[in-house]
Structure formats: C-alpha cells, structure tokens
C-alpha cells in the first residue's frame, strides 16, 4: 500500500491556464461563452431513482471523445454549478455525465413544506441512485469504463459505492471528500447527541439547529468555501438563473444519516484497489481532513495532493489552486 502526500506552495509553473482567467472579465466570459455552451450542448436526463424518486442528470457528448467522466457534485449542489468544470473537461476531449443527487439540484426536493431543506431518508438511497444511473444509463451508452470525479458528499457516496462496484471505473479523483463532517460550533459528540434527540422527537425534516434558507446576500468575506470572489459570484448567479435548484441548510435527518454513513468509511480504504487521486484542502472548514489521509493510506493505490491554504471547494477556488487541480485531473486520467 502506498500514499504520497504532496504539499503545494503555489506551483504555478506546473499548471496551465484553463477556460477562464478569474482576473480577466470572468463573469462576462461565463455569461457569453460557458453558459451558452452549457445550455445548448448538454442533454438533460430524467429517470426514476431508488424509492421512485425523480432524478435529473445531464450528459455532454463530445463527438471526438475517447474517454468519459462521471461527475458527482457535493451536498446542496447542482451540476449547473459545475458548468466551468464541465466546459474545461469537454475542451480536454472528454464526454461528461453528471448526476444531481436526490433532494437537490434539478432532482426532486424532498420536503414539501420547504424545498430548500436538504433531506434524505436513508444515505443508502444515494448509493442506489448512483447504481441505477450507472447501470441503466452510463454503462449502456459508453464503450469504455468511465473515470469518476466527485466532490465532498459526492466523494463519500463514491467511496461507499466503489467498495462493491469499483470494476465499473478506470480511476477516481475525489475532491475534499466528506469523510467526517465538521460540526462546529458544536463538538462532535454534542452535535451528534443533539441531532439524535431531535430525530427521536420527530424533527427529522426540520432544519438542523442554526441552519435556514438560502441567503442571496451572504457576503463573500464571510464565506468558507472559496477564496475566488468571481467564482463565488458565479455560484450565486447560477442560483438566480435556476432558482429551483436552491438549497438552504441540511435537515436533522440529513446530518444523522450522513454521520452514520461516514462512520462506515473508516473500514472502506482497505477494500479499494482502483487508482485514486484525492485532493485535500488545508483550510477546509466544512469537513475534517484527518480521515482522508487514513483512508488513502489503507487503499492499494491512492495519492493525496494537499492544496495549502485552499478552502473546501478546490474546483471553484482561485486560479492558483484550481488550475493545478484541473491539470492534476488531466494528467491522472491520462
């Protein structure tokens, strides 16, 4: 077993510029070039997931592609937020299939009284949905095994899924995988106890303590997702364009199920044989990073790349981090 940790000190000379330079009319370029590509080149797919839940996916078929990437967003995200990532990968010669997880994005939101509450009845439903997506759509349409690219919660879903289905993919890149949720301002034990009590009281579909609806006026300066102001603005812009995708905060049951699922990940590493590249953000305040290294060390073929100073959303970060990440993805998959 091997694990290599590389710490970045802004290796700009090792990276390349991708579609949009954040310092050069970023928002205008997204509006004029990338958004039109996303809206005209993607084909949305609607299908029934586990427990008869209506799910949404999208595919971008590159006529010159020899390889395919399956993209799994993180918690609360839609694939629409990944339009720049999708555009870059398409320009690199890939076809892309992306899935919106149940309860978020263009897939059915699951709390009728408030569609912004992120809810899941069972975390295993995410895995079942991915199995349906892969077996009935992706693997029926592509001739070669695809690659897997996943962020945060998508990474947790991927690892649990790969335990039994790693033969479906050539390799995987996991960005800031959610192996342990940061429950601040509450200590983990206190937070888990509080969530357990609220669930027993029948509050599973309520917002978790301290969480609420999406705030379109939330300041960039207080955000803990990215250091890139223009990409932060782009994310809000996509919520304005597609308001039906908006998620506020997690529900009591989402946290309860997610904590239970991430505990299972402690034992998954030793069962993973396919090549894995893991991105770790050193300034991550959304997930705790310690378990990432432990899991990677137990896997047969896993390498960690540490992005010094980066926030949680590495693929939405400043160019210094993002360009390096996209270059690493390109090199790893090739």
Residue-by-residue DSSP string for 231-300: HHHHHHHHHHH-GGG----BBHHHHHHHHHHHHHGGGTGGG--S-EEEEEETT-SSB--HHHHHHHHHSS
> What local confidence, expressed as pLDDT, does residue 18 receive?
77
From CA 148, how far away is CA 169, in angstroms rounded? Answer: 7
From CA 5, how far away is CA 303, in angstroms rounded? Answer: 7
> What local confidence, expressed as pLDDT, does residue 98 receive?
99
> What local confidence, expressed as pLDDT, does residue 204 receive?
98
> What local confidence, expressed as pLDDT, does residue 70 receive?
99
Q: Which residues contact 36 (CB under 8 A, 6 or more apart)?
A: none
Q: At what angle do helices 252-264 and 188-200 cross, to 10 degrees?
A: 130
Please count the structural domains in the chain. 1
User: Is the pLDDT score of 265 beyond 90?
Assistant: yes
My answer on whether omega of the bond before 185 falls inside 30° of 0, hence cis, is yes
Read off the pLDDT of residues 45-74 as tens digits, 9 standing for 90 and up. 999 999 999 999 999 999 999 899 999 999
> What local confidence, expressed as pLDDT, does residue 184 receive?
87
Residue 17's pLDDT band (boundaries 50, 70, 90)? low
Of the candidates 259, 277, 275, 270, the residue with the CA atom closest to the CA atom of residue 294: 270
From CA 268, how far away is CA 37, in angstroms rounded? Answer: 38
> What local confidence, expressed as pLDDT, does residue 186 receive?
86
User: Is the pLDDT score of 10 beyond 90?
Assistant: no
- The tokens for 288 are 């705790």
User: For the residues 293-307, what does the mean pLDDT come to?
Assistant: 97
Domain extent at residue 39: 5-333
User: For the residues 177-194, what does the mean pLDDT come to?
Assistant: 93
User: Is the pLDDT score of 207 beyond 90?
Assistant: yes
Q: At what angle do helices 229-241 and 83-91 cross, to 10 degrees?
A: 110
From CA 163, how far away is CA 118, in angstroms rounded? Answer: 26
> What's the CATH code of the domain at 14?
3.40.50.1820
pTM equals 0.94
**Angle ∠(115,215,109) on CA atoms, nearest 5:** 15
User: Is the pLDDT score of 121 beyond 90?
Assistant: yes
User: Is the pLDDT score of 13 beyond 60?
Assistant: no
Read off the pLDDT of residues 86-116 as tens digits, 9 standing for 90 and up. 999 999 999 999 999 999 999 999 999 999 9
User: Is the pLDDT score of 281 beyond 90?
Assistant: yes
């Amino acid at each position: 077993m091997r694990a290599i940790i590389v710490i970045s000190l802004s290796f700009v000379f090792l990276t390349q510029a991708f579609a949009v330079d954040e310092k050069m009319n970023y928002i205008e370029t997204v509006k004029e070039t990338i958004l039109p590509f996303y809206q005209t080149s993607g084909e949305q797919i609607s299908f029934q997931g586990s427990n008869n839940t209506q799910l949404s996916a999208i595919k971008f078929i590159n006529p010159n592609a020899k390889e395919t990437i399956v993209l799994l967003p993180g918690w609360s995200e839609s694939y629409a937020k990944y339009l720049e990532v999708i555009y870059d990968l398409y320009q690199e010669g890939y076809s892309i299939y992306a899935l919106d997880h149940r309860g978020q994005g263009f897939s059915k939101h699951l709390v009728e009284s408030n569609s912004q509450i992120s809810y899941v009845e069972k975390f295993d439903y995410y895995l079942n949905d991915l199995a349906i997506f892969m077996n009935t759509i992706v693997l029926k349409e592509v001739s070669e095994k695809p690659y897997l690219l996943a962020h945060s919660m998508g990474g947790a879903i991927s690892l649990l899924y790969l335990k039994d289905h790693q033969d479906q993919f050539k390799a995987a890149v996991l960005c800031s995988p959610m192996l342990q949720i940061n429950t601040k301002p509450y200590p983990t034990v206190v937070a888990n106890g509080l969530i357990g009590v609220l669930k027993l009281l029948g509050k599973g579909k309520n917002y978790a303590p301290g969480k609420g609806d999406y705030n379109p006026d939330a300041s960039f300066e207080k955000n803990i997702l990215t250091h890139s102001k223009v990409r932060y603005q782009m994310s809000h812009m996509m919520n304005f364009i597609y308001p039906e995708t908006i998620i506020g905060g997690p529900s009591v049951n989402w946290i309860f199920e997610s904590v239970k699922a991430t505990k299972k990940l402690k034992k998954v590493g030793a069962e993973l044989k396919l090549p894995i590249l893991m991105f770790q953000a050193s300034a991550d305040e959304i997930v705790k990073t310690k378990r990432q290294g432990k899991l990677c060390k137990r896997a047969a073929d896993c390498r960690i790349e540490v992005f010094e100073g980066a926030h949680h959303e590495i693929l939405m970060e400043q160019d210094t981090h993002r360009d390096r990440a996209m270059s690493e993805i390109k090199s790893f998959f090739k």
